[in-house]
Every structure is written in structure tokens, then in C-alpha cells.
Amino acid sequence: MREDVRMRYRQLGRTALQVSELCLGTMNFGPETPEEESCAIMDRALDLGINFFDTANRYGGDKGVGATEEIVGRWFALGGDRREKVVLATKLYGPMSHWPNDGRLSARHIRAACDASLRRLQTDHIDLYQMHHIDRTAPWDEVWQAMEVLVQQGKIIYVGSSNFAGWHIARANETARERGFLGLVSEQSHYNLLVRQVELEVLPACLQYGVGVIPWSPLSGGLLGGVVGDEATARRQSPIALKRIDKLRPQLEQWEALCRELGEDPAAVALAWLLHQPGVTCPIIGPRTMDQLVGAPLRAFDITIAPETAKTIDSIFPGPGGTAPEAYAW
């Protein structure tokens, strides 16, 4: 374990809120990681200066929807200023039951989902309340009216999105501007060296509107962490993982060879690359074990991506070709 790490912080989008350059994702807490170990990981994250925790009302896997929020809530209840130190983010959208209004982004569900998350999390407010997906049936005036009420009630502070397109971000924030509301301050997007489509329109939209980008799956399910050599783990050798590895083997071999030349762990370099991208606030790491928290993620802070290294990385994992519309028009 590294004891010398000095956490760095960035403003979340255009807000004054300071969040750590790594966000602790909790999706594995409960279904993959037992509660006792989950609590130990959260304690260690705080010790390391990680102050940004992300969860969702749907997380829980075979333990049931809401189980992960409940684990986080019981951890907060242990005291010791745990809640006060954490910038808490959770999400809503997915169905919480089979009833028709127990999901998506109607004003009714936004209100009910927020209250339910507050109960599970054992807190009186959520720092960043995120829409997990776009709801094309919900007018933005309805969504923002509901969010405005939650802000006025002190139940949430900021609003973010996840898996939105550039158009969604623009429309949402233009409507918020018309209403005199702050609007979206963050966007969680699938972004890593293997998945760079957000560079076309999502990242430019976020930069224009001051929306902080929070990449999820920064290691592409572990593929960028070293899978073609001795570093492969049992999880990465699942049939699905093996199929992906075989398909991407030439790129992954070049990638891991480059990281060996640099003398660095591939996972650390992949995270460092994200931290060097314009508009990115912090990648989400979702450790299943303590070792996954204190290993490569912390090393990423010490890595500088030199221009020649960035060019080599782009040759291995070509991006989509630039921002829209230039990337697919003249």
C-alpha cells in the first residue's frame, strides 16, 4: 500500500465543488464485495483523500435493488464524520419494481426515488443527483421542475447526467438556462482507450457548457489492465472476456508492450491517459478488493503522458477522428 500518495482535487465542471481525481464507484459493494470489506475499502479511500463516492439506486445485483445504497448508508451511520467528508453521488432512472411509475424521469418518480435513496443512504441530502439515462418521454420542463423542488427542499445540491448524448446535454442546459436553473454540472460517460466515441460530440458539449466528465469503465472491464501476459486474472479469462481479448489481441499486445517500455502498469497508464483528456474531472474506479483500490489507481497520479507517448497511444487506439461535424463531414 502506498502511504505517500497525495490526492489531488479538481473542480466539478463549472461549479466550485472540489472532488478527488479518482471517484470511488460502489457497484461491486454487495453483489461482489461483502459488506465488511466494502466498508474497509470506503474507509481506506477516505484515508487516501478520495472524497467522491458514486452509487445508484439500482445497484445491488443478486442482493436486490437498493442493496448497495444501504451498505453505504450503514457505513455513514458508523459516524466519524464519514458523511461530512464525502461528496455523495447517486443515480436514478431504472425500474425499482414492476409498477409503471417506479422508474424513468417523471416528476413523480424523481421525487419518490430521491426520498427512497435518502432513506437507504441514511442522509438528509445527496450532493450530486444523476439521471442514469435519458428519458425521451419526459419533457425537460417537467424534469427541471422536479429537480428545482428537490434543491429548494435541500434534498439535493447538484444535478448530473449519465449516458447522455451531446444533444441531450445541450438541450437540457438550454432549458435550465431559460428557467434560471443551474442545470447539468456533470456527465458520466463510457470512456476509455477502447471506447472513444464521446470525443465526437459529448466532450465538446461538456466543455462548452462547463459540464465535468466522469468516465465509467476506464479500464474497459479490465482489458486495459494487462490481459495478454502473465497479468491475466481468472475474471478476465471468462468466456466473454476471452472472446474480446481474441478480437482485440493485436492492439492489446501493442498496448502492453508500450507500457512495458514505459515501465508502468497498463491500468495506471490507462487512467493517467484519461486524466490528461480535456474536460475530464475524474475516472470512476470500482474496486472489488482492497488491492484494486491501492494499486494501479494511485500510481496513475505520478504518470505524465508525454506528447510522443500520446501519439503512440493514438496509433494503437485511434480516436473517432476529431470533434463533430468535422470528423464525418467537410
- Determine if residue 321 is left, alpha or beta; phi over 0 gives left, psi from -120 to 50 gives alpha, anything else beta: left
Q: Which three cell numbers stand for residue 308?
A: 510522443
Active-site position among 9, 59, 93, 191: 59
Do 287 and 262 touch, CB atoms closer than 8 A?
A: no
Length of the chain equals 330
Radius of gyration of the chain from Cα atoms? 20
DSSP symbol at 155: S
Active site residue 191: no
Please state whether the peptide bond connecting residue 325 to the residue before it is cis, i.e. omega within 30 degrees of 0.
yes
Residues 6+ apart with CB under 8 A from 161: 130, 131, 134, 168, 169, 172, 184, 186, 187, 188, 211
Question: Considering all CA atoms of the chain, what is the largest pairwise distance in Å, rounded to the nearest integer?
Answer: 58
Q: Which three cell numbers stand for residue 2?
A: 502506498
DSSP string for 226-266? --SSTT--TGGGSHHHHHHHHHHHHHHHHHHHHHHHHTS-H
Tell me which residue of 220, 23, 28 sits closest to 128, measured CA to CA: 23
In single-letter form, the type of residue at position 116 comes to: A
**Sign, Cα dihedral of 308, 310, 311, 317:** positive
Residues with catalytic roles: 59
